[in-house]
Structures are given as C-alpha cells and as structure tokens.
Amino acid sequence: MTRTLFITAGWICVGLGVIGAFLPVMPTTVFLIGALACFTRGSPKLEAWLLNHPRFGPPLRAWKEQGAISARSKRAAVGAMLGSWVVVLFTSSTWLVPAGVGAVIVAVASYVLTRPLPADALQR
C-alpha cells in the first residue's frame, strides 16, 4: 500500500514537472525532485528511469548525490522568484503582501544560492 502511494505521488509530481516545463509560472525541478524522492521509496526502477533521463537526469543526480544546483539553475530560480515578486508588488493593494512574499523569497533564494555547484562544474 505504501509503495503504491509513493509511486502514485511520484507520477503526480512528474506530471506537474512536465507541465512546469511548458508554463513559466510552475517550477519543474521542485516537482521532479519530489518525484525522485517518491520513486526512491516506492520503485527503484522508476528512480533509475528519472536519474538516467537524458534531460532531467544530470541535475537530479547532482541534487541527490551532492545536494548541488548548477549556476544556470540558480540564476533561473532567483530570476523567476524576483519576477514573481515584481508581479505581486504591482498587483497588491497593500504593502503587507509584497513584504511577506519578499521575506519568503529571500529565505528560499538564500537557500538556493548557498547550495554547492555540481562537482563536474567545478572541474571546468
């Protein structure tokens, strides 16, 4: 039963990640990391499929093995957060919402920016 729940949750995350690859308002990597976590607990075969995927495998392997995020991904993530905050700033009728969202974005961006670079990026 637990295995089935993890596999189902993993496929839901994969689906959301695929949607995020085409919609700028949805993240892709976060959902694929979630799918990897679910597949790790539910299906070694699906975990291997994700880790060996030609497009998504390398960043997922870097995250799983090293807790690393590429410089390009860091720039994209922080840029998307900043863009989202600007939208909130100009569409909010009070300063409290942008302030609260800004505080969360600063915390998340700090976490993303302090993750190490993948080992292969350091060797170049």
The string of pLDDT tens digits covering residues 34-63 is: 999 999 999 999 999 999 999 889 999 999
Domain end, chosen from 19, 35, 66, is at 66
**In the prediction, which pLDDT does 39 show?**
96
- Based on the domain organization, do 54 and 23 belong to the same domain? yes
Number of separate domains in the chain = 2
Domain range enclosing 20: 2-66
88 with 57, same domain: the answer is no
Burial of 12 (0-12, 13-18, 19+ CB in 10 A): middle
* pLDDT, tens only, 84-106: 999 999 999 999 999 999 999 99
For tokens 């089935």, name the residue: 4
Query: Same structural domain for residues 11 and 57?
Result: yes
What distance in Å separates the CA atoms of residue 106 and residue 110, rounded to the nearest whole number? 6
* Gap between the Cα atoms of 119 and 65, Å rounded: 10
Q: Residues 85, 36: one domain?
A: no
> Do 7 and 37 belong together in one domain?
yes
Neighbours of 26 (CB within 10 A): 14
* Measured distance CA(55)–CA(60) in Å, rounded: 10
